[in-house]
Amino acid sequence: MKECKNVCDTQSCFVCQRCLPDWLPAVKAQRINFEVKKGQSIFAENDLVSGIYFIYSGTVKVHKRWDKDKELIIRFAKAGDIMGHLGLGKDPKYPVSATALEPTVLCYIDRAFFESTLKVNTDLTFKLMHFFADELQHSRKSMLDFVHMSVKARIAKSLIALRNQFGMSADNTINLELSRQDLASFSGASYETLFKVVNELTLNKIVELTGRRIKILDEAELLNIINQDNLNVK
């Protein structure tokens, strides 16, 4: 991980202004930007928490391995998102790993400095608390979905989620290239099962996967699958 040449400490620096979420102006002084190559690890589970990361550009997957070739992707993070905030809790270890999916520029803020900023800046802390409340709600929801939805519905949900987070271009292609492997990990399914389901969806003209490109052809039908499944469990 080499230090980015865009290290900056003035308001006028374009890079850093974008690097931080707009509600975090207070920490603009003490920070360092890093550049990470595609596929490179940013932090790994059980690493000691040393700070918090903000993404300036690129995309990162936050994931947890539980075996050599098995992992669950918990979420994706893109420009403007926070990472490593779980380290703010009691346990001073990152419970998950983060790996860059494309060349990524990150902004790193030392934990001690971040915490002392929080102590001073009520408003910031308040907003961060709200952010956590939202995250928690979202996390709970996806946990429930995992437990009671079928793999097919989970895949449909994953696709919709990707679309919502990254948007799609005019031709309905999701603005994120993703391997099937990662898609499987994100849906909590085995690679082969994902393949079979995606195949079926392709035959029914609901989605189209060419290489790492994902195209959603029939969103209504995807939503249908998700809902049907909710009912089918009866």
Partner DNA sequence: CGAGTTGTTGACCTACTTCAATTCTCGTGG
Partner DNA sequence: CCACGAGAATTGAAGTAGGTCAACAACTCG
Q: Which residues bind a copy of itself (CB under 8 A)?
A: 64, 66-67, 70, 72, 74, 85-86, 88-91, 95-96, 118-119, 122, 125-126, 128-130, 132-137, 139-144, 146-148, 188, 230, 233-234
Q: How far apart are CA 223 and CA 131, in angstroms?
A: 27
Rounded to a whole number of angstroms, the minimum distance from the CB of residue 174 to DNA is: 16
- Per the CB < 8 A criterion, the answer to whether 102 and 55 are in contact is no
Q: Which does 132 bind (CB under 5 to 8 A by kind): a copy of itself, DNA, none?
A: a copy of itself
Residue among 212, 96, 199, 203 at smallest CA distance from 162: 212
Q: How far apart are CA 25 and CA 114, in angstroms?
A: 12
Rounded to a whole number of angstroms, the minimum distance from the CB of residue 187 to a copy of itself is: 10
Q: Is 132 in the site for DNA (CB under 7 A)?
A: no
- Cα atoms in the 13 Å half-sphere on the side-chain side of 234: 0
Rounded to a whole number of angstroms, the minimum distance from the CB of residue 179 to DNA is: 6
Which CB atom, from 81 or from 145, has the smaller least distance to DNA?
Answer: 145
Q: Which does 219 bind (CB under 5 to 8 A by kind): DNA, a copy of itself, none?
A: none
Rounded to a whole number of angstroms, the minimum distance from the CB of residue 86 to a copy of itself is: 5
Q: Is 199 in the site for DNA (CB under 7 A)?
A: yes
Q: Is 180 in the site for DNA (CB under 7 A)?
A: yes
Phi and psi at residue 109, in whole multiples of 5°?
Answer: -125, 130
Alpha helices (H) along the chain:
14-19, 111-120, 122-148, 151-166, 180-187, 191-203, 219-232
- When computed from its CA atoms, the radius of gyration of the chain, rounded to whole angstroms, is 19
Rounded to a whole number of angstroms, the minimum distance from the CB of residue 213 to DNA is: 11
Which parts of 10-115 are beta strand (E)?
Answer: 32-36, 41-43, 51-57, 59-67, 70-78, 82-83, 97-100, 104-110
Kindly give, in sequence order, each residue whose CB lies less than 8 Å from that of residue 37, ignoring residues fewer than 6 positions away: 100, 103
Q: Is 196 in the site for DNA (CB under 7 A)?
A: yes
Which CB atom, from 51 or from 188, has the smaller least distance to a copy of itself?
Answer: 188
Q: Is 207 in the site for DNA (CB under 7 A)?
A: no
Q: Which does 146 bind (CB under 5 to 8 A by kind): a copy of itself, DNA, none?
A: a copy of itself
Q: How far apart are CA 93 and CA 55, in angstroms?
A: 20
- Give the footprint of DNA on residues 140-169 (CB under 7 A): 150-152
Residues that bind DNA (CB under 7 A): 150-152, 179-181, 188-193, 195-196, 199, 233-234
